[in-house]
Amino acid sequence: MIRILVVDDSVFSQKVTANFLNRNLPYGTAEINFASDGEEGLEKFRTLKPDYMFVDLLMPKLSGTDLIRAVQKEGDTGIIVVTADVQKAVRQDIEALNVMAFVNKPLNAEKMRLLCDRMVRNDKNGSELLSL
């Protein structure tokens, strides 16, 4: 079972991510959980110990970047950043954190297929950043 945590303050984005995951992962292989801000995401990370996290960068209470830093200190979770913030400096900062993927919103079927292929292979860190 692949345990996934989706951390995004947009319920719509949470639903879109979950729908794409359910369509692209083999039936019954994923447990998908949600958090609506960075603080809740950190709490659920500590409780659930997910294999993968989808993290938005712009969130209340604790930013996605701060959440990623905290998670990386505590565990071996594959982190997929999904954001509308595509500034070059932001992308460089996130790439320096050695995340699994940096994905520009909106998600689409092709982007999720590539991500799910890596998740099924348990390729959390991969040889290179997947930039979609």
Q: Is the pLDDT of residue 126 over 60?
A: no
The count of domains in the chain is 1
| CATH number of the domain within which 43 lies | 3.40.50.2300
Q: Please, what is the average pLDDT of the chain?
A: 89
- 21 and 10 in contact (C-beta within 8 Å)? no
Task: State the pLDDT confidence band at 120, using cuts at 50, 70 and 90.
Answer: confident
Q: Containing domain of residue 74, as a range? A: 2-131
Beta partners for residue 131, in sequence order: 102
Would you put residue 21 in left (φ > 0), alpha (ψ -120 to 50) or beta?
Answer: alpha
**Secondary structure of 25-84 as H, E, C letters:** CCCCCEEEEEECCHHHHHHHHHHHCCCEEEECCCCCCCCHHHHHHHHHHHCCCEEEEEEC
Please report the pLDDT score of residue 62 as a whole number.
Answer: 93
Q: Is the pLDDT of residue 31 over 70?
A: yes
pLDDT (tens digit per residue) in 55-101: 999 998 999 999 999 999 998 899 999 988 777 777 778 888 889 88
Angle at 20 between CA 110 and CA 120, to 5 degrees: 80
Angle at 120 between CA 118 and CA 121, to 5 degrees: 65
- 10 and 83 in contact (C-beta within 8 Å)? no
Structure token pair of residue 55: 């993290």
Q: Is the pLDDT of residue 102 over 70?
A: yes
Q: Percentage of the chain with pLDDT > 70?
A: 92
Q: Is the pLDDT of residue 123 over 70?
A: no
